[in-house]
Structure 1
Amino acid sequence: MSNKLALFDCDGTMVDSQANICASMDQAFTKHGLVPPDHHLVRRIVGLSLIEAVSQLLPGEDAELVAAVTQSYKDGFFEMRQAGGVHEPLYEGLLETLEELEASGWVLGVATGKSDRGLQHVLETHGLLDRFVTLQTADRHPSKPHPAMVELAMAEAGAAPETTAMIGDTSFDMAMAVNASVRPVGVDWGYHDEHELIEAGAEIVVANMADLHGILNR
């Protein structure tokens, strides 16, 4: 019998990290003499692997510049974290939702565009590292919406497509779920709007964290 797997995106779904992401992107662009992108555009690419995100913010630029800006973003984010300047608060009600899901037989996982180091920092900061049986990041997979993250998560968790739900706030998450043939469940407190989530394949878009447990158990 396959386990029930609730697979969560991180940025925009479990934690609100947009201030840190926008600040680091500003710094990286400025370092290379570039005009920082509008923060609305930055929020649009949250969830993609970093190199893909920077590529979309620098359309038409050569690969060398994209790689340099990407590395500057990584370096700046790391320095900000070391200085204690990274604040990624949990969305209200997440802890209670995770507890409810575990109590009703779900195993938990994460599939995120963050790096291994970034995800570990978030989970350790909030005391969540031991809650998840599988952690998939951009360090070891193609960018969303490629299904590789979901496929390996299911293998590690002993789950099947019909017993797995991907919970996320972006169209990239929903498209990845569709590509992996798992249940796509959108949330509206993140970085893409309800219409985009549905257009990308979301079965439903949840408005309140407190409703997530009940929806997954339908």
Structure 2
Amino acid sequence: MTELALVVFDVDGTLVDSQADILSSMRAAFAAEGEAAPPREAILGIVGLSLDVAIAELAPKLGVAMRDRMVETYKSSYMNHRRTKGTAVSSPLYPGARAALERLSKREETLLGVATGKSRRGLDKLLEGHDLNGMFVTEQVADHHPSKPHPSMLEAAMHEAGVVPGAAVMIGDTRFDMDMARAAGMAAIGVSWGYHDRSSLRDADIVIDRFDDLDAAVKDILGI
């Protein structure tokens, strides 16, 4: 019997480049409350966290009610960008992402999953827009879990896939992804093209610079 392995992907900054809409939507959320938005680096630095946690990180001195309104403004702005521009423009796949997913999905011993700070609705729209429905056997979203780096998403993903931590790997672009993987007892592959700089990925087992390198990195870690 073939031993199964699970490869879990982050989304924003790993599979898709949604930074333009993230920046625009976060700036809209701050502007709606008459507040100055943080700099670009600070906004991209919280990508991967659940939205309520991300805004609290960026604006810890603002009241809870204001931050709750900002969450809703962000969501409305983000959805509007995707609706008006279309998914392919709003959140384009990084070069090589689709080919890498298709290669891995064709391996009978490999299961694919997602662990993202996106909402269920947001992930559904993204997968539909890129024709990726059915690609992942487990899809973990912010609606049902504590924010990264809590290991809940990965624990649920492994449970659904029926694999143990030693047969799973997390792929992401932020330190939150690396920390989440460590907390879940999993290996981690960092990608250098995302929203955190390479130094933030120091806890990764391997850091890759292009999707063409992913197969070899997965093989090195999981032996498949």
* TM-score, normalisation: structure 1: 0.95
User: Corresponding residue for 1:92?
Assistant: 95
User: Corresponding residue for 2:175?
Assistant: 171
Structure 1: where are the runs of 5+ without partners?
none
SS of residue matched to 2:117: coil
User: Corresponding residue for 1:213?
Assistant: 215
- 1:29 and 1:182 map into 2 onto residues whose CA distance is 36
User: Corresponding residue for 1:136?
Assistant: 140
Large movers: runs of 4+ above 6 Å: none
Deviation at 1:2, TM superposition (A): 5.3
Deviations 1:100-143 (A, max 9, x none): 21233211000000111111111111111111001001111000
Q: Structure 2 counterpart of 1:208, which letter?
A: R
The answer on whether the counterparts of 1:25 and 1:73 sit within 8 Å (CA) in structure 2 is: yes
Deviations 1:54-112 (A, max 9, x none): 00110222212211111111122223333346510000111111122123321100000
Task: Out of 117-126 and 84-93, give the one that drifted further.
Answer: 84-93
Q: Structure 2 counterpart of 1:15, which letter?
A: V
Matches within 5 A, 1:31-180: 31-84=32-85, 87-104=90-107, 105-180=109-184
The answer on whether the counterparts of 1:47 and 1:144 sit within 8 Å (CA) in structure 2 is: yes
- 1:85 and 1:215 map into 2 onto residues whose CA distance is 32
**Root-mean-square deviation over aligned CA pairs:** 1.3
User: Corresponding residue for 1:196?
Assistant: 200
Task: Out of 120-129 and 77-86, give the one that drifted further.
Answer: 77-86
- 1:205 and 1:120 map into 2 onto residues whose CA distance is 28
SS of residue matched to 1:29: helix
SS of residue matched to 2:134: helix
User: Corresponding residue for 2:26?
Assistant: 25
- 1:82 and 1:4 map into 2 onto residues whose CA distance is 36
Deviation at 1:23, TM superposition (A): 0.6
- 1:2 and 1:146 map into 2 onto residues whose CA distance is 27
Deviations 1:155-188 (A, max 9, x none): 1111110000000000000000000001111000
- 1:42 and 1:159 map into 2 onto residues whose CA distance is 34
Q: 1:2 to 1:144 in 2, by over 3 A?
A: farther
SS of residue matched to 2:217: helix
Percent of residue pairs bearing the same amino acid type: 45
SS of residue matched to 2:169: strand
User: Corresponding residue for 2:14?
Assistant: 13
- 1:96 and 1:68 map into 2 onto residues whose CA distance is 39
User: Corresponding residue for 1:181?
Assistant: 185
Q: Structure 1 counterpart of 2:95, which letter?
A: E
* TM-score, normalisation: structure 2: 0.92
- 2:86 and 2:35 map into 1 onto residues whose CA distance is 23
Structure 2: where are the runs of 5+ without partners?
none
- 2:112 and 2:194 map into 1 onto residues whose CA distance is 20
